[in-house]
Amino acid sequence: MPLAIRQAEPKDAVTVVEFNALLAEESEGKRLDRRVLEPGVAAALADSRKAVYFLACEGERVLGQISVTYEWSDWRNGWFWWIQSVYIRPEARRQGVFRGLYHHVAELARRDPSVIGLRLYVEKENHRAQATYQNLGMVTTGYFVLEQYPLE
């Protein structure tokens, strides 16, 4: 059965929450607080200005997800789309699922003249993911990501 990619809807919240929890556990060893994660995902699925999720499906079964958030660049007068929340079921990895999701997002970005590029961040030690992203044409930038969280 061919891979179909569709935009996630509020009815997909359970799957997106589960994939995000698995992603955090697997990639960073973090257990996400479901009391925070569930309303966060619901807010994103209800408001595309916050984020858009895309799901890769084989029939009714969801094999993977990707989300996009937005950053305005005044220096470049355009939008960067940030790729986030990438998760592929272990049994579906290395079968082109992520590549399909990535190409879907990249094609949507190319069609929108206000979008100037794609960005993502990846854990420093996740060399396999880094190689995957680089094989798709992404390059390492000169930026180093810092954060202050939570704000107090």
This model's pTM is above 0.85? yes
Total number of domains constituting the chain:
1
Residue 152: inside a domain: no
Q: Is residue 151 part of a domain?
A: no
pLDDT top residue among 21 and 122? 21
Residue 1: its pLDDT value, please?
61
pLDDT band at 135 (very low <50, low <70, confident <90, very high): very high
Q: What is the pLDDT at residue 125? A: 87
Task: Answer whether residue 150 is part of any domain.
Answer: no
Average pLDDT value for the chain: 96
Q: How far apart are the first and last CA of the chain?
A: 50
32-77 confidence digits (pLDDT tens)? 999 999 999 999 999 999 999 999 999 999 999 999 999 999 999 9
Please give the residue range of the domain that contains residue 27: 4-135
The confidence band for 115, taking pLDDT boundaries of 50, 70 and 90, is very high
Q: Check residue 73 and give its pLDDT.
A: 98
DSSP state of 92: G
Q: For residue 112, what is the domain's CATH number?
A: 3.40.630.30
- Strands (E) in 10-148, as ranges, are 52-58, 61-73, 78-88, 115-120
42 domain-assigned: yes
Distance CA 22, CA 31 (A): 9
What pLDDT does 152 receive? Answer: 86
| Structural domain contains residue 18 | yes
